[in-house]
Amino acid sequence: MLKSPPAVKKNILGQKDFLAISDFSSDQIIDLLELAKKIKAQKNLGEQYLPLKGKTLGMIFEKSSTRTRVSFEVGMLQLGGNALFLSSNDLQIGRGETIADTARVLSEYLDGIMIRTFSHDRVEELSKYATIPVINGLTDLAHPCQALADLMTISELKGTLKGLKMAYIGDGNNMAHSLMSASAKVGMHFSIACPKEYKPNQACITSARLEAENNGAEILVTEDAVEAVKNADIVYSDVWTSMGQEKENEVRLEKFKDFQINEALIQHAKEDFLFMHCLPAHRGEEVTAEVIDGPNSVIFHQAGNRLHAQKAILVDLL
């Protein structure tokens, strides 16, 4: 049984929490990816690695989940720890207890908290009052765990990150924000095509552009899907209507109809491009079945890396 991965830096993140990719330096992101790869390699070799024996992660869900819940729960178990599923419907925060009081109470019981919720302010408040690590499992502003797993997947399949081009087609949402920031951190060009009224948060664009400039990359925001996809190494999509936006679905279907990733659009990408999607996908809406099931699609490899990327986060923080 191995007690720790070989030649791995400790305390990579250098802070208590993992809330957003933008909180960390390029070197920290790269080091975290290396840790994730080492943990994955040990798992694939059948070697046990149990650094979190006796540790417990509380997982608060105010949004439903498949990948986030299963990957964090399995990740803790494989690292020797335990995970508790905490639905907001079962907690007192669902009946009016403040985030601050919840944070203080859970800090007495747990070694870490992962929360998947709507407002990013709730995660930041939880972080402020908790004395234990807090991990952002998703908010309406950011999805840093998914972005880290995506970088890991690209690095594994392309052998590099710097200088590649990612084209994101669709809503300027939490996924777009985190991917834009992640790309900028590692020197990867990022382009997003979306309707003008669905562009990413301007503060996120400004911050990513400054980071990208420092790392020799460019950030492009356009309403032209062909321009965004031209010569792309990665073509990425997400649903047009996220959780909490269901009432907007018909409007969004009309607004995004020219932003579908299909056989015609991917002709403008590089021949060996990777198609990525954070899942779940609405086949026939943001992407056609021919693309998502095609030879360039790596969506399940990508989903699998959620486990390993998050195990790296857990090991470093806990």
Cα–Cα distance for residue pair 41/182, rounded to 1 Å: 23
Buried b (16+ CB within 10 A) or exposed e, 233-257: bbbbbbbbbbeeeeeeeeebeebbe
Of the listed ranges 58-62, 100-104, 223-227, 241-245, the least confidently predicted one is 241-245
Same fold, 17-142+306-317 and 145-303: yes
**Is 66 annotated among the ligand-binding residues?**
yes
**Is 145 annotated for ligand binding?**
yes
Catalytic residues: 116, 143, 146, 238, 278, 306
Bridge partner list, 136: 115
* Tens of pLDDT, residues 158-177: 999 999 999 999 999 999 99
Residue-wise pLDDT tens digits, 91-138: 888 678 999 999 999 999 999 999 999 999 999 999 999 999 999 999
3-state secondary structure of 228: helix
The one-letter code for the residue type at 190 is F
* 182 close to 211: Cβ distance less than 8 angstroms: no
pLDDT at 88: 79
The residue ranges of every structural domain in the chain are 17-142+306-317, 145-303
48 labelled ligand-binding? no
The two three-digit tokens of residue 297, written as one number:
């699609």
Sign of CA dihedral 250, 289, 177, 211: negative
Q: Which tokens go with 38?
A: 């080492």
DSSP helix/strand/coil, 190: strand
Q: Is 68 annotated as belonging to a binding site?
A: yes
Beta-sheet strand order (sheet of 274-277): 219-222, 189-193, 165-169, 234-237, 274-277
**Are 186 and 26 in contact, with CB atoms under 8 Å apart?**
yes
- When the pLDDT of each residue in the chain is averaged and rounded to a whole number, the result is 95
> What's the residue count for the chain?
318
Among 43-47, 48-52, 128-132, 189-193, which stretch is predicted with the lowest mean pLDDT?
43-47
* Under 8 Å between Cβ of 48 and 1: yes
Proportion of the chain above pLDDT 70, given as a percent:
97
Q: What single letter denotes the amino acid at residue 117?
A: T
Q: Which two tokens stand for residue 12?
A: 């990579």
Both tokens of 236, joined, read 């990425």
Instruction: Please state, in angstroms and as integers, the Cα–Cα distance from residue 259 to each residue in 77, 196, 226, 237, following that order.
Output: 40, 12, 9, 10
Q: How confident is the model at residue 10 (pLDDT cuts 50, 70, 90)?
A: confident
Q: How far apart are CA 119 and CA 282, in angstroms?
A: 24
Locus of tokens 């090991």: 315
Q: Residue 195: what residue type? A: P
Relative to beta strand 189-193, strand 165-169 is parallel
Q: What is the CATH code for 145-303?
A: 3.40.50.1370
Q: If one looks up domain 17-142+306-317 in CATH, what number appears?
A: 3.40.50.1370
Q: Which of 16, 13, 26, 10 lies closest to 161, judged by CA?
A: 26
Residue with tokens 């989903």: 303
> Could you read off the pLDDT of 243-286 as tens digits, one per residue?
788 889 999 999 999 999 999 999 999 999 999 999 999 999 99
